[in-house]
Structure 1
Amino acid sequence: MERRIHEIPLKNGRTARIYQGAFGSGEHETTKACIAHLERMELSGKKMLDVGCGTGILGICASLLGAGSVVGYDVSFDACATAKLCNELNNIDNNHIVCGFETCVKGTFDIIFANIYYDILTAISDFIYGSLAENGLLVLSGVPVEEHYDIRRHYMKYGLEVLDLQIHEDYCTVLFSKGRLAH
C-alpha cells in the first residue's frame, strides 16, 4: 500500500515530508501551532524532546530548522515505525525515536514539545518538568480550549512562566519557560 506524503514548507526554505500513518500530518491546528513555535525558536545546537511523537513531525521540523539533537518517544509501535520511515524520507539522522513510555527517556532537554491529550499532560507533568533544562522552553498543545486555565495552573505550580497562550478553534497551545526567559 502506498502512503500519502504530506509536505510542510518551513520558513528556512526547507520542506518536511511526512508519511501518513500516525498523528502528525501537519494539517491539525495543534501541529501547525507547534511548528510555528519551532520556527520562532533558536534551535541551533539545542536538545529537544518530543513527547508522544506520532509521525515524528515535530522532531523532523526541528532537525530541518537546525536543532542539535531530538528524542521523540511514543507508546504506539506503529507511530514509532512511521516516525523512523519519515526520518529516512527526510534524510534525518539526529531525530532519535524511542518506542515506550516516559520511563524509557533519560536526560534533560533545552526544549520540550508535548502535543498530546490533556489527561496525559497532567499525568506525566513531573517527568516533563524534571526533563526540562533550567532556562528551557516547554510547549504544550492538544489541550481543549475549556481546559487551558487548568493546564496553565497545573504547570505554573512548578514555577514555570507562561510566555504565550494561543487559543485555536478547539484547542490551545501554551509556551512556558523554566527559569529566566530562555529566548
Structure 2
Amino acid sequence: MPWIQLKLNTTGAQAEAIGDALVESGAVSVTFQDTHDVPVFEPLPGETRLWGDTDVIGLYDAETDMKQVVAMLEYNPLLGLGFIHKIEQLEDKDWEREWMDNFHPMRFGERLWICPSWRDVPDANAVNVMLDPGLAFGTGTHPTTALCLQWLDGLDLEGKTVIDFGCGSGILAIAALKLGAAKAIGIDIDPQAIQASRDNAQRNQVSERLELYLSKDQPENLKADVVVANILAGPLRELAPIIGQLPKAHGHLGLSGVLATQAEGVAEAYQALFQLDPVAEKEEWCRITGIRK
C-alpha cells in the first residue's frame, strides 16, 4: 500500500519527544536518521542512540489528511507555527522484494563470496557463505562488514577458534568457519541476531561448530585465537576491558564499525594490550587490527 512520509530536522535531545508527537498525530512508525547519513548498528542495552543533527521521519497512511496532522503538530512547543518539514508520497512497492532483488553475490578477498540464499552461487569452487540476514545487521554491503570479511579471508584460520562479538546475522562467524576455523562463538545483545545467526549457520551446514550466546549469558573466561567486533566506536571503547581479554596471547583482534575520524580514540583503548597494525580505511570507515601482546 502507498504511504505518506513527513520528515523534519531537530536535535538529538529533542528527537524522541518529537517522535512521540508524530505517533500521537497518527504516524504508524517513526524513524530517526542522522542528517549526515551516519548509520547506527548496535545501541547499548536500553539505549536509543541519537545524533546532534537528527531527521525524524513519520510514516502515515496514504489517506491521512496531512494538513490536519501539521496543524496538530504546530501546537507542540518543540515545533511551533510554521515549523520546517517535508511531506512526500512514497511509491507503492514490495519493499522486501525490492531489497531481495538488489542483494547480489559479493566477493571479499581472494576466496570468499557472500551469496543471498535465494540466488545461485557464481563460483561453486569458492568459499561461499549463503546468507539471509533476516532482521539482524550484516549482509556484507556495508564497508565495515566488507573490511572484516577481507581481513578474515587474509588470515590462516585453519583449526582456530573465532569469537564474533556483536554477531548480527552471523556473517563473520560463519565466514570464519567456512574459511577453515574449527569453532566460532557468536555473541550479541539482540535475540533476533542470535536467531538469524542460528538460521544462517544451519543454511551453511556449520551449526554444529557455532556456539551462540546473548551477551548477558556468555561464559566467563572465554578465549579465542581470533576476535572480531563490528559494532560502534562508543561501545568498542567502553567494552575494551572485556573485548581486549578475549584473544589468547598472540591472538588476532579486528575492530570495525568505526569512522576514520574515530579510529584514534578506539585504538588508544586497545594499544596497551595489542600491537596494532596500520588502520585500514574504506569509504570513511575503518578497521583496526592487532595482535595480543
SS in 1 for 2:129: strand
Aligned partner (choices 152, 159, 164) of residue 50 of structure 1: 164
Which residue matches 1:127?
A: 242
How far apart are residue 95 of structure 1 and its match? 1.7
- The percent identity for this pair of structures is 25
* Cross-structure match for 1:20: 133
Match for residue 148 of structure 1?
263
Other-structure match for 2:149: 35
Superposed CA deviations along residues 2-42 of structure 1, whole A, max 9, x for unmatched, are 99476455606121011132111111101111011111101
1:48-127 matched pairs, under 5 angstroms: 48-92=162-206, 93-101=208-216, 104-106=218-220, 107-127=222-242
Structure 1: 5+ residue stretches without partners: none
| Cα offsets for 1:77-132 (capped at 9, x unmatched) | 1111111100011111212111233x623321110000001111111111111111
- Between the aligned partners of 2:133 and 2:246, the Cα distance in structure 1 is 29
Structure 2: where are the runs of 5+ without partners? Answer: 1-95, 113-125
2:157 partner amino acid: L
2:76 maps to which residue?
A: none
User: For residues 7 and 105 of structure 1, what CA distance do their matches in structure 2 show?
Assistant: 35
Larger-gyration structure (1/2): 2
User: Letter of the aligned partner of 1:81 in structure 2?
Assistant: Q
Q: For the aligned residues, what is the CA RMSD?
A: 2.0
- Rounded to whole Å, the distance in 2 between the matches of 1:72 and 1:165 is 24
TM-score normalised over the length of structure 2: 0.57
Query: Residue 288 of structure 2 aligns to a residue in which SS?
Result: strand
**TM-score, normalised relative to structure 1:** 0.89
Q: How many residues are treated as equivalent by the alignment?
A: 177
